Structure 1
């Protein structure tokens, strides 16, 4: 059981809930804070004080006062009118992350929502009732209004959910679990939808996949080094310490460990003096991607525990301040940074693929073909990798440099962070397929060189990979192999894979 406090949620705990099916609950202290905040809202309503979102309309309607007899109607109208998401739904794991993150933010005690509503959100998480949330329609300020409105619909028994493998009306799933819909009170609709949880949830899931891919890319690259009789000297510790970047030093160290007992690597001058950059500069390029991913991780873990509501309630309601914590700019930048960092892993991977298949760049059979000419071998796999890399270059264009005014120019600068997070996720899927192609080609190359000469680490990885994709003995429909390898790379948990390798790491 993971206890949420609003302040201490980590990416590892997100992984536990999203992939290892751990349950969540709320700390008693955080629920007490939520209750005090709620009591402040009720005093504001009873005193008919003019406070944005509690006794007024929203956005450009912030100057329209709402009678206290209509506060329930105001919240219900807000959720229904703002549920304007379009397009395909977010992946279920992302929607579940969204619910979890919204509950965690509300537990900080600044939002004025009843503990009862937070309990309902936690029930959705624990019982895998996943809101159907369209991916498109958020500007990333004032928060992720449209996506989070679709989330909030479920609490009131409207909208749709994924439940037990089916897409169905929310009310049906709630009834099966004995969960009663709620009637939203003053400020509760606004508290549910004013935040960055869509872009952050998409970012969290993307980051977790990107982190695993970055590790896998190093092991795959190590196998490619063996397939090309790469020069190990370039990974010598002194070289990387001399520059001083920790992530570069660490990447080189992992590759040295993976290849420590390989008989397929060479020394400088043994076959050639220098390797091409796509081999020689792996620590510098992959290490730089790790630097960016570390930045992304830091920003996500801050945002996962951030109060992104508006207005925020302080000092038991004595201070109710309209600010802009819903603005997604920090995550928008982080997502754009992640796009570039992960895309670069595919850029350099595709160049290694080219070196594996191009007979002018190696001494292997042309295109790793079992019968060059009659059989095309991996020729078109490189085409596919090149197409994915090119597509990534378009997707990597920063979303955060764009803005467009909304709400009659009251909300005149927005982050586009949710678009950035979605594009980052698309890039990650493309990168995984490029790495899958490199893996297939690298396995074929080391097979030609001699599997018995491989390092223990890479040989174990090769053997596991061959369980997914057989050797190329004749041409076949390689798209099936690429998809199978990519799915394997997505589902294996890298820490467990490394733990299974024969040398302790």
Structure 2
């Protein structure tokens, strides 16, 4: 049972990926407390004092990047902040999904509300209005190098504050100035440093990482279940999942996956039916599920841990520590998440890779009682042969996407920003790979369900039997060829809807049996 609060205090409470998603989806209200507002106003006052005194501080009364030695007069400081949003809005390509743009707003408010950025209270209140009213800015997907913050996407994200750019509102894309007019709002006049505070930061990278944590977790949880169903269909051995083996190499992910597979197969008649067979060992794609799925689990856990540090950090520049200390540093550099997201790309791709191998294994017809291509009447029918072509294509595409974006760096800003993370590309690629994995898992789900059918009337464990029934509500047994793309689309929908996880939760409640092992399968706790 989730203990997530109904309200979240920006700048004070600890944010997780689950919390950020809950706020973006309207399940948790994000608020700024009076205490945080005091800190915000105090930081804004320090910036105003710096401008009044004329002491040069980067981005407040100087130019940006290679123009950091160019002084800006007191009168021009506000023009400077408006101009930076306009000049840095250079994004291209498809717009990012609305939910990711909304997550960017949520994450930026949390960072700014900590009171180290010199942002005005009124500016944060306007951003909160956008979050609470689903007026989501349109943000192009390409253009960030992930170093001096996600400059281009964050600039587009905040153009609507000054009456520019576009927003998605009530299922329509409209000009921001039209929305402001309709709501009776005036465009904001940004104060000194506000523009820079808005666009300096890693919220584009972090928002993609939030989605990666959620979607990869769902893939991992369901991959174990599908793998267990494939073990039943192919009459695989339970021995490789014994605790005694994994205690000798106790990686967290390995232990977790092995225990889950054991729980899923508990009480299986199918397993008992071939327990004394002559086969000595299974192919790696069955036998090494704990090691491969487990390694990807460990990578997921690593991303989650690093992401939580990032979500609760101040990542703009310069940072206003107090009246006497303003630091121009590098907290905006995306390298910490860029490398972790590249690792996530690989971890995700490997789940798809081993899934494709199990699909292929199921088609060979080498398991007693299982026909070649998973169909009795082949020749006139191709059976499940060509579904594996699609999983192979997707697995291969993922391999090409696994080159680490963070291994590259192209100097920008006339050499001032001479090492960049490319973390925005890491984030986008990670989600692209995960999307492909969802499709591969959907194909394995259909294949495993078809193989599982040939073991009837024997029963599996209570969880797998119930999951198979749920699959059959959507996709019937195939005794002859049909348009399998329609089946695949239904399978993809089940994976993305986390259907298998929901069935397990339902069986637990109905049968009053436990399933949770090792670290929890409830994403809301992360």
TM-score by length of 2: 0.93
The answer to whether residue 476 in structure 2 is matched with residue 465 in structure 1 is no
SS of the residue corresponding to residue 271 of structure 2 reads coil
Change (3 A) 1:334 1:252: same
Shift of 1:370: 4.5
Inter-partner Cα distance in structure 2 for 1:208 and 1:442: 24
Q: Give runs of aligned pairs for residues 349-360 of structure 1, distance below 5 A.
A: 349-360=355-366
Q: How far does residue 16 in structure 1 lie from its aligned partner after superposition?
A: 1.5
**448, 468, 477: which one aligns with 1:442:** 448
Q: Does 1:281 align with 2:288?
A: yes
Which residue in 2 is equivalent to 1:125? 131
Q: Tell me the residue number matched to 1:16.
A: 22
Alignment partner of 1:325 is 2:331: yes
**1-side partners of 2:501 and 2:380: how far apart?**
41
CA contact (8 A) 1:365 1:372 kept: no
Cα deviation, 1:192-245, whole Å, max 9, x if unaligned, reads 000000011011111111011100100111111111011111111111112111
Q: Deviations over 1:145-186 (max 9, x none)?
A: 000000110211211111122222123334445544311111
Does residue 1:38 correspond to 2:48, yes or no?
no
Going from structure 1 to structure 2, the CA distance change for 1:66 and 1:362 (only over 3 Å counts) comes to farther
Residue of structure 2 equivalent to 1:389? 395
The answer (yes or no) to whether the contact 1:369–1:378 under 8 Å persists in 2 is: yes
**Aligned residue pairs: how many?**
504
Question: Of 274, 297, 301, which aligns to 1:294?
Answer: 301
> Among 59, 63, 68, which residue is 2:69 paired with?
63
Superposition pairs for residues 148-187 of structure 1, below 5 Å? Answer: 148-187=154-193
Distance in 2 (CA, whole Å) between partners of 1:7 and 1:31 is 14
Alpha-carbon shift at residue 375 of structure 1 (Å)? 1.1
Among 452, 455, 459, the alignment partner of 1:453 is 459
Unaligned runs of 5+ in 1: none
- Partners of 1:394 and 1:287 lie apart in 2 by 23
Q: Which residue is 2:266 aligned to? A: 260
Distance 1:457 1:313 in 2: 55
Q: Find the counterpart in structure 2 of residue 410 from structure 1.
A: 416
C-alpha distance in 2, partners of 1:437/1:405?
42
- What is the match of residue 113 of structure 1? 119
2: CA distance, partners of 1:287 / 1:92: 32
* Local SS of the residue matching 2:247: helix
2:149–2:200 contact (8 Å) kept in structure 1: yes
RMSD: 1.6
SS of match in other structure, 2:57: coil
Residue 9 (structure 2) aligns with:
3
**Partner residue, 1:194:** 200
Residue of structure 1 equivalent to 2:222: 216
Whether the 8 Å contact between 1:145 and 1:195 is mirrored in structure 2 is yes
Query: Where in structure 1 do 4 or more consecutive aligned residues deviate above 6 Å?
Result: none
Is residue 479 from structure 1 mapped to residue 485 from structure 2 by the alignment? yes
| Aligned-partner Cα distance in 2 for 1:28–1:429 | 41
For residues 229 and 501 of structure 2, the distance between their equivalents in structure 1, rounded to whole angstroms, comes to: 18
Cα distance in structure 1, aligned partners of 2:457 and 2:105 = 47
Match of residue 245 from structure 2: 239
Structure 1 residues 52 and 467: alpha-carbon distance in aligned structure 2, compared to 1, 3 A threshold = same
Local SS of the residue matching 2:326:
strand
Secondary structure at the residue paired with 2:406?
coil
Per-residue deviation, 1:73: 1.1
- Alignment partners' CA distance in 2, 1:480 and 1:390: 22
Q: Structure 1 residues 189 and 249 mapped into 2: Cα distance closer, same or farther (>3 Å)? A: same
C-alpha contact (below 8 Å) 1:212/1:494 kept by paired residues: no
Equivalent residue for 1:134, pick from 140, 146, 158: 140
Superimposed CA distance per residue, residues 244-292 of structure 1 (whole angstroms, 9 cap, x where no aligned partner): 1122111111111111011122566524111111111111111111111
- Residues 355 and 362 in structure 1, CA contact (< 8 A), matched pair in contact too: no
For residues 4-61 of structure 1, what are the alpha-carbon distances to aligned partners after superposition, in whole Å with 9 as ceiling and x for unaligned? 2255111221232234643311222222111110000000111111110000010001
Q: Name the TM-score, length of structure 1 as normaliser.
A: 0.97
Distance 1:177 1:379, change over 3 A: farther
Which residue is 2:310 aligned to? 303
CA contact (8 A) 2:375 2:384 kept: yes
